[in-house]
Amino acid sequence: MARLGLWPAPFWAALEAGAEQAGGLLLLGGLLTPFVAATLIGDMLVATLEVHASEGLWAQQGGFEYNLALMAVLLAVGMIGPGLYSLDRRLPLTLPRPATFAAALLAALAVAGATVLLF
């Protein structure tokens, strides 16, 4: 985080790690799936552009291959939606599946773009 110019670096590193862990747990439980998938795509996009893009494609050399695979899976999960036994199915609110994900993804991409441009 310090290399990216984020200060205080330990705070931002802990926040980033916590956000990824919380997102993974929410995705695992199928809770707020379209929002979580879109947010994690934005997170992986920033990591790809700021850290891994200069290293090339292959992950063995520090490239963005793994990030790209994660974004593809998250895109599929976001478009398909939560599974039959997800917590989203237990919510009293039913979100329109592709539209909600598309709106959340546009917001996440806007934030990711702003983050890359600012830092």
Supply the pLDDT for residue 23.
94
Q: Band of the pLDDT at 118, cuts 50, 70, 90?
A: confident
Q: What residue spans define the domains of the chain?
A: 9-118
pLDDT digits (tens, 9 = 90+) for 4-34: 777 788 898 898 899 999 999 999 999 999 9
By percentage, how much of the chain surpasses pLDDT 70? 100
One-character DSSP codes across 2-65: TTTT-SSHHHHHHHHHHHHHHHHHHHHHTSSHHHHHHHHHHHHHHHIIIIIGGG-S-GGGT-SH
Q: Band of the pLDDT at 52, cuts 50, 70, 90?
A: confident
Supply the pLDDT for residue 47.
86
Supply the pLDDT for residue 31.
92
Please name the amino acid found at residue 10: P
